[in-house]
Amino acid sequence: VLSERLISCARISGVKRVALAGGVASNSLLREMSKSRAEDEGLEFYCPPPILCTDNAAMIATRGYFNFIEGKAASSGLNAVATLALG
């Protein structure tokens, strides 16, 4: 489904190059299918090596670990606000 969406979006927007990145790009089957579909459509395909396709949650957890070691912590009243504007 994801590789089909990638190709469909490329076709709709008229781009000639597609990229797969982030944690999802660690999935070898998705990488292979996306590359194959892109080649079938005449698109250039880019995907970094799996070692560079890390999950954002792992990066956030690492930052949290170092904050904890430094004694930095939020109050127990802190809560996630999914609709909070960035910036």
Residue 87 sits at the vertex; the CA angle it makes with 9 and 79, to the nearest 5 degrees, is 95
DSSP labels, 48-83: --GGG---HHHHHHHHHHHHHHTT----TT----TT
**Is the pLDDT at 43 greater than 90, yes or no?**
yes
Structure confidence at residue 68 (pLDDT): 94
Structure confidence at residue 84 (pLDDT): 86
Q: Would you say the pTM of this structure is higher than 0.95?
A: no
How far is the C-alpha of 37 from the C-alpha of 71, rounded, in Å? 49
pLDDT band of 51, cuts 50, 70, 90:
confident
pLDDT in tens, 73-82: 988 888 888 8
pLDDT band of 10, cuts 50, 70, 90:
very high
